[in-house]
Amino acid sequence: MYKVLAINPGSTSTKIAVYEDTNLLFRHSVEHSREELAKYPTFNDQYSMRYEVVVNALKENNMDLKELDIIVGRGGPVTPLKSGAYIVDEMLVDKIMKDPLVQHPANLAGLIAYRMGKELNIDALIYDAVSTDELEDIARISGVKEIERKSLVHTLNMRASAIKVAKEMDKKYKDLNLIVAHLGGGLSLSLHKKGRMVDVVTDHEGAFSPERSGVLPSEALANFCYENDKDVVKQMLRGKGGLISYLNTNDAREVEKMIENGDEYAKLIYEALAYQVAKNIGELSTVVNGSVDAIIITGGMAYSKLLTGWITERVKFIAPIVIVPGENELEALANGGLRVLKGEEKVHRFLGE
């Protein structure tokens, strides 16, 4: 039996869990107030505070750190990486600290895991980084030479869902073609071709979401950019777009209440979200010439039978639909670490750019 510590720092919380094989021993989440986080100019400055939060939570829950076999942190947008596990060593820590692709709280997981692993003399990993990039060359072409398409999506939950569904189908993940749609505060989709995530629809290329605008008509967007300052544009794209823009709420449950109360406009907007997700699924199906084994809908909004029902009606002709609601990130991290311990997955090593 192996014990795995999973660490997932978010923008306002630090979540951890300890699993013994696939059995959850305990889960703990610490919320960080705005006042507390305001003390730290950058995410890296939060490192020591977050580390202490993790250690104290383990001690308060009577976890013997010496019993841990491996530590797995969420992989942030560090740099383009392969899917799966990366050992956190000095070179990767240096990249996280000095030159990550994007400043993001998830990057702290690797730093915390590395320090704990050194102290306990066990391996520290990051797993399925946000910046996982396995795009085929043809998928990188955008239409403007100076702008290359990049892969920044909800890799952790999407791959975990794909691996889970493959197992339920009594198949190997690497033998299937799967489309995964993550429906949460942000939306992203991915096409998994024989075990590799070869194309994606990022949250600024596809459907709108509770807070994000998704793809917009380029000429209208260009005009909007010239007519407004940068902060207004950024807020419109991420924070004040999507459901907030149309319905003044980012809570899909509130939207469904509006619909139940006869609000036809709310129904139109909510169904438009499903409509756009379905179009994105159809788009990705062409990457494998329509040879799709299953379509997986996951994320927090996958709990909505109304939303998933609308999507299913439009794409069920492509492949069977499987609903895997929730994000399950800590479980996904722990399962990744367990597969490494069991020798079912190889560990990658970051060798620099």
Alpha helices by DSSP H, the chain: 34-37, 47-60, 90-98, 107-120, 155-168, 218-227, 230-237, 242-247, 252-260, 264-285, 305-315, 329-341
Judged against a pLDDT cut of 80, whether residue 353 lies above it is answered with no
- The CATH number of 155-325 is 3.30.420.40
pTM: 0.91
Contacting residues for 254 by C-beta, under 8 A, at least 6 apart:
247
The DSSP-derived string for 24-54 is: EEEEEEEE--HHHHTT-SSSGGGHHHHHHHH
Please give the class, per CATH, of domain 3-134+330-348: alpha beta
Contacting residues for 58 by C-beta, under 8 A, at least 6 apart:
5, 16, 18, 65
Mean pLDDT of 127-144: 96
Mean pLDDT of 202-228: 94
Mean pLDDT of 279-299: 98
pLDDT at 205: 95
Judged against a pLDDT cut of 90, whether residue 125 lies above it is answered with yes
pLDDT at 234: 92
pLDDT at 185: 84
8-state DSSP, 61: T
pLDDT tens column, 145-157 = 999 999 989 999 9
pLDDT at 12: 86
Mean pLDDT of 26-48: 90
Task: Give the integer Cα–Cα distance in Å for 66 and 347.
Answer: 22
The pLDDT confidence band at residue 292, using thresholds 50, 70 and 90, is very high
- 155-325 has the same fold as 3-134+330-348: yes
pLDDT tens column, 41-80 = 999 999 999 999 999 999 998 888 999 999 999 999 999 9
Judged against a pLDDT cut of 80, whether residue 253 lies above it is answered with yes
User: Domain ranges in the chain?
Assistant: 3-134+330-348, 155-325
